[in-house]
Amino acid sequence: MPDIVLASSSAYRAKLLKNLHIPFTCTASNVDESPLKNETPIALAQRLAEAKARAVAEQFQHHLIIGSDQVACCGEHILGKPGNRETAIQQLSQQSGQIVDFYTSISVLDSATGKCLNDADLCSVHFRQLDRSQILRYLDIEQPYDCVGSFKSEAYGIVLFDKIVGDDPNALIGLPLIKLIALLAQFGIVLP
């Protein structure tokens, strides 16, 4: 099995990849994540996933490099990581009763050959109607200030939703493992 690198400093992505029981190294990719003019959310996620993989290719020249990126949208508005409580309150208030679409893209790059395969997953989160006290209680418990959309679906954040629609629940956390397994198989890494 070739050495695998996860081009990410995300503890959430690393935890998901550990579930596959394959050895890997993590490294930050330091890619500018600013959207291009008129770039769609899916195109942004796809471009950034591949850019993250390619950004570490010189450092890891004979590896399979996994890049992943996630873009969340509520209507036409792209959501970011809140960074603080006030922004999280604003985001969750905006998302109340709405559908938030998460586009999570994955790239696997063979740095020795330059071959790169890409795929993407769409997951839609249907938010319950939330009042301010529910939002504040959630933030007191979870403090998801480093999470896109101000929530963690794998934890207490599940109380915020009516339903989640998607093919892979891991994609919502940041790494679509079902898509990743299929891409790795195309590079000869078949997991039981």
- What CATH number has the domain bearing residue 76? 3.90.950.10
Look up the domain containing 34 and give its range: 3-186
Residue 149 DSSP symbol: G
Q: What is the mean pLDDT of residues 126-135?
A: 98
Cα gap 18→15, rounded to integer Å: 5
Q: Is 105 part of any domain?
A: yes
pLDDT at 158 over 90: yes
Q: How confident is the model at residue 6 (pLDDT cuts 50, 70, 90)?
A: very high
Q: Single out the residue of 33, 148, 128, 127 nearest to residue 79, CA to CA.
A: 148
Residue 35 DSSP symbol: P
Q: Is 191 part of any domain?
A: no
Provide the domain count of the chain.
1
Q: Is 129 part of any domain?
A: yes
pLDDT at 5 over 80: yes
Q: Is 169 part of any domain?
A: yes
Q: What is the mean pLDDT of residues 6-17?
A: 95
Q: Is 17 part of any domain?
A: yes
Active site residue 32: no
pLDDT at 1 over 80: no
Q: What is the pLDDT of residue 19?
A: 95
pTM of the predicted model over 0.95: no
Q: What is the pLDDT of residue 192?
A: 82
Per-chain mean pLDDT for the chain: 95
Q: Is 36 part of any domain?
A: yes
Do residues 172 and 13 make contact, with C-beta atoms less than 8 angstroms apart? no
Options 3, 32, 69, 168, the catalytic residue:
69
Q: How far from chain centre, in Å, is Cα 22? A: 20
32-88, pLDDT tens digit by residue? 999 999 999 999 999 999 999 999 999 999 999 999 999 999 998 999 999 999 999
Q: What is the pLDDT of residue 2?
A: 85
Q: Is 192 part of any domain?
A: no
All residues at 6 or more sequence positions from 107 whose CB lies less than 8 Å from its CB, including other chains: 46, 49, 50, 52, 53, 66, 67, 68, 116, 117, 118
183 backbone dihedrals φ, ψ, rounded to 5°: -70, -45
Q: Is 100 part of any domain?
A: yes
